[in-house]
Structure 1
């Protein structure tokens, strides 16, 4: 069986978690914007972009914790 470097596992785990966390946070923020009666395109794009950017450090921390405790 081929061994994989720990850095490669961390990167792969980060990618998987980000693929889940990014759209989830973007959707939450878009829902919040709609709840505040912000029905314009700019508000939706900003909410989605902020969600995807905020998901980056969150995914990294979660992947790091999973990698350290596994």
Structure 2
């Protein structure tokens, strides 16, 4: 989420709307990625 906010700010989008969109997009992307990483770690620890 922070990476997308940093990208938005460095591209000159410094108003509230693009930052909020970046936060929401980062959150939506982070949910499945974190689930996949947690699943992979669980499988690695079990063996």
Q: Same fold (TM over 0.5)?
A: yes
Residues 33-55 of structure 1, C-alpha deviations (whole Å, 9 max, x = no match): 01100011000000001111100
Unaligned runs of at least 5 residues, structure 2: none
| Residue 14 (structure 2) pairs with residue 55 (structure 1) | no
| Residue 23 (structure 2) pairs with residue 31 (structure 1) | no
Residues 4-52 of structure 1, C-alpha deviations (whole Å, 9 max, x = no match): xxxxxxxxxxxxxxxxxxxxxx111010001100011000000001111
Give the paired residue count.
45
Q: Which residue of 16, 24, 28 corresponds with 1:41?
A: 16
Runs ≥4 in structure 1, deviation > 4 angstroms?
Answer: none
| TM-score relative to the length of structure 2 | 0.90
Q: Matched residue of 1:39: which SS?
A: coil
Unaligned runs of at least 5 residues, structure 1: 1-25
When the two chains are superposed, the root-mean-square deviation of aligned CA atoms in Å is 0.6
